[in-house]
């Protein structure tokens, strides 16, 4: 894979006609180290956010040993590239075939569920195995998140106690899990959810061995600047320590976006300008699904080799390359007012979900990949980068003495 210092160097060297994914391995490694070292428990990478084998290996090498898989395909993928990884099948609704293959062929012992029907399936598919770690998913609010995950999964409050009691009877380890929604903008999302966990444990009168706070840890986007991640960890740890659980209970989390958003960005070319609309060569059926369908704003930078610093900035929207009117990204994306055909744009923070949701609809989707060495457009881990640089300087100074 070609390596460049930054996106502008890619433009100058290649003048590409197709979109290019720009990878920043150091950003993913830094995020993984952060969670491995600072989260007060075990971090499971949510593979759905970006299933790239290269990324999986980077996270493994940086301390992430457990992976949240949501399908038999993800089970097979991670087991193929990381045979020693611990796989946790955290989709609450699975086929018996998927459960059986995950258990018998791939060593999966951790499963989530949110109904008695799913519990029965797991017991049947595993032959009544005695080594199951089963996490009951409860429904919690997504009020503090930008994207709700409160509608589809989670046991109803009236069913939680009986489901926990039934699961306790067949589980070697019993867990409770939840998901506060994607891009949670306040640590209160987790404290509110942990209040429901406490109530469920008390009502069911069961011994709980695992509390899994799920995903939802945020990244930085235009108009979305969350508190530092340590503040989330502090709230979670305080709530966990206050729960009536086993003295040896484990605390888990399932970051996806927070581990991989900064890993990748996208280089696109402007093919046409119409007023304040730019026609670019990637879009809703490529890496910009979220920008089109939920109006997600991603950071952008113009990459013109000869930039006029006096040009005022303007709000633009994007059209993607397909023939579909829905291939439209409203933005607004703030760029120099003189943008036009032939110019290039870097669109940042697409390591999460952008890379994973690309299709080949309408014959598009052919994307090259290169590595760049500069920093992501936004980061929750810049302090780590500064500390790393300072430590390297100190080490160099010590070696000279």
DSSP assignment of 196-223 equals: HHHHHHHHHT----EEE--S-----BTT
Buried b (16+ CB within 10 A) or exposed e, 14-24: eebebbbbbbb
The pLDDT of residue 107 is: 96
The pLDDT of residue 1 is: 67
The pLDDT of residue 399 is: 38
The pLDDT of residue 202 is: 95
The pLDDT of residue 45 is: 97
d(CA 214, CA 8): 37
**Ranges of residues in the chain whose predicted pLDDT is under 70:** 1, 305-309, 383-401
Buried b (16+ CB within 10 A) or exposed e, 246-285: eeebbbbbbbbbbbbbbbbbbbbbbeebeeebbbbbbbbb
Bridge partners for 46 per DSSP:
68
The pLDDT of residue 148 is: 74
Q: CATH topology for 25-260?
A: TIM Barrel (3.20.20)
Domain locations in the chain as residue ranges? 3-22+261-372, 25-260
Three-class SS state of 78: helix
Which two three-digit tokens encode residue 12?
A: 């100058």
* Secondary structure element (H or E) that encloses residue 16, with its range: none
49 DSSP assignment: G
Sign of CA dihedral 103, 62, 378, 3: negative
Longest dimension (CA), the chain: 70
Q: Note the pTM of the prediction, 2 decimals.
A: 0.91
Distances, alpha carbon 81 to alpha carbons 97, 242, 251, 346, 353, in Å: 22, 38, 26, 30, 20
Q: Give the architecture-level CATH label for domain 3-22+261-372.
A: Beta Barrel (2.40)
């Amino acid at each position: 894979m070609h390596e460049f210092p930054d996106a502008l160097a890619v433009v100058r060297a290649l003048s590409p006609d197709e979109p290019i994914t720009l990878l920043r391995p150091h950003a993913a490694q830094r995020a993984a180290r952060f969670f491995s070292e600072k989260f007060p428990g075990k971090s499971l990478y949510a593979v759905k956010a970006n299933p790239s084998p290269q990324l999986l290996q980077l996270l493994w090498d940086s301390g992430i040993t457990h992976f949240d898989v949501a399908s038999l395909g993800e089970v097979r993928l991670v087991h193929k590239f990381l045979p020693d990884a611990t796989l946790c099948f955290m989709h609450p609704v699975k086929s018996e075939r998927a459960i059986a293959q995950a258990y018998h062929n791939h060593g999966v012992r951790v499963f989530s569920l949110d109904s008695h029907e799913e519990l029965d399936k797991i017991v049947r598919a595993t032959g009544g195995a005695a080594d199951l770690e089963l996490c009951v998913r409860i429904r919690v609010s997504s009020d503090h998140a930008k994207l709700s995950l409160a509608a589809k999964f989670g046991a109803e409050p009236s069913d939680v106690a009986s489901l926990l009691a039934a699961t306790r009877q067949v589980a070697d380890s019993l867990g409770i899990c939840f998901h506060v929604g994607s891009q949670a903008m306040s640590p209160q999302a987790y404290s509110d959810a942990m209040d429901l966990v406490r109530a469920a444990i008390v009502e069911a009168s069961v011994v709980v061995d695992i509390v899994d706070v799920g995903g939802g840890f945020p990244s930085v986007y235009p108009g979305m600047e969350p508190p530092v991640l340590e503040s989330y960890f502090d709230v979670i740890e305080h709530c966990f320590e206050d729960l009536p659980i086993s003295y040896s209970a484990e605390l888990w989390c399932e970051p996806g976006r927070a581990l991989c958003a900064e890993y990748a960005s996208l280089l696109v070319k402007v093919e046409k300008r119409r007023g304040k609309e730019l026609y670019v060569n990637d879009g809703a059926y490529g890496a910009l699904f979220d920008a089109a369908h939920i109006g997600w704003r991603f950071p952008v930078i113009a990459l013109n080799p000869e930039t006029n610093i006096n040009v005022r900035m303007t709000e633009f929207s994007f059209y993607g390359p397909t023939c579909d009117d829905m291939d439209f990204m409203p933005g607004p994306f703030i760029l120099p007012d003189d943008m036009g055909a032939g110019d290039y744009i870097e669109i940042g923070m697409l390591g999460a979900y952008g890379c994973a949701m690309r299709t080949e609809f309408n014959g598009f989707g052919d994307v090259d990949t290169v590595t760049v060495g500069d920093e992501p457009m936004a980061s929750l881990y810049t302090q780590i980068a500064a500390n790393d640089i300072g430590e390297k300087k100190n080490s160099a100074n010590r070696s000279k003495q």
